[in-house]
Chains A and B, each alone.
Chain A
């Protein structure tokens, strides 16, 4: 079965620090996409970053980067120079090309403290 595990229910760091959120997944597919979405208190779901499994290079979007380890089925999100606006729930998502279901992890509640 397709599963996504986020082992850190909650994290808290000081503003400007770097924080890494972990995500591991299980899939039998070779072709898939991985995403990190954030859900701020407004509850809107916002895409943070995406990674195609066939690409070896780790994706980067400004202060956000991923460490994609395909063999280990690991997809962690690093937030550099964290800001108060980064406070949110963060969800990891796998989207297999073969299967049709999209499965989210349980989420990590990240709090950035001033």
Chain B
């Protein structure tokens, strides 16, 4: 158990819809990272937050947004969903903003029909 909790584990929705994925980092970790992993693909970095502030942005679509709340949990919002958004979305946390090991959640599997 990494200590990182992601909900929901599985989500099936239709094109055009909007979903929210939630991540609770490990206790004490200030950084949260979001990654997207499509079928048989590598991990695409989406965005990083540190202590409530956006720190880095990767290949995140404009239809996607995220935030980190004062209690350090984070949410990834995906809107106007397309078939190609079907993927496993990972959240990871680390203690600092730019050092150390990433602890991964089990991922949220999104299926867009």
Given the interface contacts A45-B92, A100-B55, A101-B56, does A35 sit within 8 Å of B101 by beta carbon? Answer: yes
Chain A nearest CB, measured from B59 CB (Å): 10
- Cα A43 to Cα B42 in complex, Å, equals 12
Find out whether the CB atom of A47 lies under 8 angstroms from the CB atom of B98: no
Given the interface contacts A91-B42, A105-B42, does A44 sit within 8 Å of B99 by beta carbon? Answer: no
Chain A nearest CB, measured from B72 CB (Å): 17
Q: Size band of the B side of the interface?
A: 20 to 34
Residues of A within 8 A of B35 (CB): 104
Which residues of B, 75-93, contact A by the 8 Å Cβ criterion?
Answer: 88, 90, 92
- Cα A16 to Cα B88 in complex, Å, equals 32
Q: Size band of the A side of the interface?
A: 20 to 34
Name the CB-closest residue of A to B48: A100
Find out whether the CB atom of B88 lies under 8 angstroms from the CB atom of A107: no
- Cα A33 to Cα B97 in complex, Å, equals 13
Q: Is B58 an interface residue (CB 8 A)?
A: yes
- Cα A47 to Cα B90 in complex, Å, equals 14
Chain A nearest CB, measured from B98 CB (Å): 5
- Complex interface bits, A43-75 against B, C-beta within 8 A gives 1, otherwise 0: 111110010000000000000000000000000
- Cα A108 to Cα B98 in complex, Å, equals 25
- Cα A102 to Cα B102 in complex, Å, equals 10
- Complex interface bits, B49-69 against A, C-beta within 8 A gives 1, otherwise 0: 000000110100000000000
Q: Is A76 an interface residue (CB 8 A)?
A: no
Residues of B within 8 A of A97 (CB): 98-99
Find out whether the CB atom of A101 lies under 8 angstroms from the CB atom of B45: yes
A: residues with CB less than 8 A from B are: 33, 35, 37, 43-47, 50, 91, 93, 95-107
B: residues with CB less than 8 A from A are: 33, 35, 42-43, 45, 48, 55-56, 58, 88, 90, 92, 97-102, 104, 106-107
